[in-house]
Amino acid sequence: MTHTPGGGRAEQAVRIAATPWYRQLYVQVLVAIVIGVVLGWRWPDLATAMEPIGTTFITAMKMLIGPIVFLTVIGGIAGVADLRKVGRTGVKALVYFQAGTLVALLTGLVAINLFRLGDGVHADPAALRTSGDASRYISEGEHQHWWQFLTTIVPDSFFGPFVEGNILQVIFLAVVFGIAVKLVGQTGEPVTAAVGRLTEVVFKVLSFIMKAAPLGAFGAMSYAIGKFGLSTLTSLGSLIVLFYVTSALFVVVLLGGVLALYVRLNIFQLFRYFKEEFWLILGTSTAEPALPGLMRKLHFLGAERSTVGLVVPTGYSFNLDGAAIYLSLATLYIAQATDTSLSLGQQLGLLAVMLLTSKGAAGVAGGGFIALTATLSTVGSVPAAGIMLIFGIDKFMSECRALVNFFGNAVATLVVARWERGLDLERARAVLSGREGEPPAQAPAQAPDDATQVPAQAPVQAPGQVPASAVQVPVQDAQAPAQDARARTDTDKALDTR
């Protein structure tokens, strides 16, 4: 494996000293979030007008997500010596994704059954009126089937997924393209080199956009507080608290346990390592802007580029732990609030449907609500209009969903990398403890993970010229007199001046 050197403690100390705390990105984003909350609380009308700032930043980030995923997946596949390794990595990732999603669904199910926050609401489904975005999400969800994510994975055009931002279809194209580049052999080597160079350029553009991250976080948070108000937090505060506490326990106890027992790494050190991405997600309420940083930092951490390039983008569609907790918790809350009795068998049936409807919800506006409505419509026992009971607080739960999705994908990549013996554990521990400095601001030049030493190409010989390799140079005896060495030096100088 090839990794960009991060430097030692001295280099890290110089870097920290040269960058004041107020110029660090995560500090600026945190300050922007606080200012946005205050603005939304005190001047809601002005704060609501800040929406274009947040949406413009998120749009700019989404503009690069498709190309970054496409290029990194191709680069990861093309850099693997044996294509069977790509297949093994993909199968292991999908197995882990399904297991993680099932555990997340069960976590939400257990939490809402223990506390039963919907009891006593007695909402009448017939009296619930849908309007605005909620009505549109319900309509889309009612027309979405559990198997739809499988049939729509193949795009109807090459550029369509990039235009529509369909990450699942982009991954499909990238996998097919990467395998083809690998199979054509030497013909595909220039393509692989071009992909590496394009990746560097795209990440450089990303570094430009990331400078506006504090503005994006300010605009998104101002709009959220100004539009929905802090009073919304208190109306269903118990449900929000339950979701946040359940999610925190899932990340710290379950994901942290897997990371500690299998990968032998500390989840709290991982939190510190991804602090910039944490605050960025908290401010923008979506995990997409943090995807490039996640891939770059995981590779710097010691995971093979091919594993990172395949597992992380796929996880953004298939490994949505936060969305899974939200789905099971929200579904059972709606059932309790509408006095819909569900047996244990029916609840387990809901889990089976959610395992499929939760896929591909990331990156779609209202994806959580669409998946929730699709689940309720498929089962039929819980009224879909009941999502209006939680529509007002969804915005304040989206940050937590995105954060859990993010750390779930980080842990998944490290687990799969360790499973495939593609994780430099000593380096990972050194990076997380701060002994290897900070990761580079942009992706390093791509190099195959399984790179072997390639002999240098012989220079092109002019007609009639004797190849240098054909000239036999006698090996000098190590004990030759010093005057012979001086004589050879004088001869070399004479030849140089001819």
Radius of gyration of the chain (CA): 27
371 vs 324: CA distance, rounded Å? 10
202 vs 199: CA distance, rounded Å? 5
408 vs 428: CA distance, rounded Å? 17
Query: Average pLDDT, whole number, for the chain?
Result: 77
Answer yes or no: is pLDDT of 343 > 90.
no
Nearest to 30 by CA among 288, 277, 289: 277
CB 28 within 8 A of CB 214: yes
Which residue bears the tokens 């899974």? 324
| Residue pLDDT, tens place only, 212-239 | 888 888 888 888 788 766 665 555 678 8
Nearest to 302 by CA among 142, 406, 429: 429
CA distances for 221 relative to 30, 49, 65, 217, angstroms: 11, 12, 22, 6
| Residue pLDDT, tens place only, 464-496 | 444 444 434 344 444 444 444 444 444 444 434
Answer yes or no: is pLDDT of 423 > 90.
yes
Q: What are the tokens at 158? A: 């090459």
385 vs 379: CA distance, rounded Å? 14
Tell me, what's the pLDDT at 37? 86
Averaged pLDDT for residues 132-136: 55
CB 144 within 8 A of CB 369: no
Give this prediction's pTM: 0.72
Q: Is residue 116 classed exposed, middle or buried when 0-12, 13-18 and 19+ CB atoms within 10 A define those classes?
A: exposed
Answer yes or no: is pLDDT of 249 > 80.
yes
β-pair partners for 423: 303
- Residue 4 DSSP SS3: coil
Concatenate the DSSP letters of all residues of 178-245 into one string. HHHHHHTGGGGHHHHHHHHHHHHHHHHHHHHHHTTHHHHHHHHHHHHHHHH-THHHHHTHHHHHHHHH
Tell me, what's the pLDDT at 455? 40
| pLDDT bucket at 437, cuts 50 / 70 / 90 | low
Q: What are the tokens at 405? A: 């999705």
CB 75 within 8 A of CB 196: yes
β-pair partners for 303: 423
Tell me, what's the pLDDT at 492? 44
- Residue 147 DSSP SS3: coil
Task: Kindly report the number of other CB atoms within 10 A of residue 448's CB atom.
Answer: 19
Q: What are the tokens at 291? A: 């995807």
Q: Is residue 425 classed exposed, middle or buried when 0-12, 13-18 and 19+ CB atoms within 10 A define those classes?
A: middle
Tell me, what's the pLDDT at 33? 85
CB 191 within 8 A of CB 6: no
CB 406 within 8 A of CB 277: yes
Higher model confidence: residue 325 or residue 21? Answer: 325
Concatenate the DSSP letters of all residues of 93-123 into one string. HHHHHHHHHHHHHHHHHHHHHHH-TTTT---
CB 424 within 8 A of CB 3: yes
| Residue pLDDT, tens place only, 398-421 | 888 889 999 999 999 999 999 999
Give whichever of 76-80, 397-401, 459-463 has the largest mean pLDDT: 397-401
Task: Kindly report the number of other CB atoms within 10 A of residue 62's CB atom.
Answer: 16
- The residues, any chain, with a CB within 8 Å of residue 260's CB and separated by 6 or more, are 266, 267
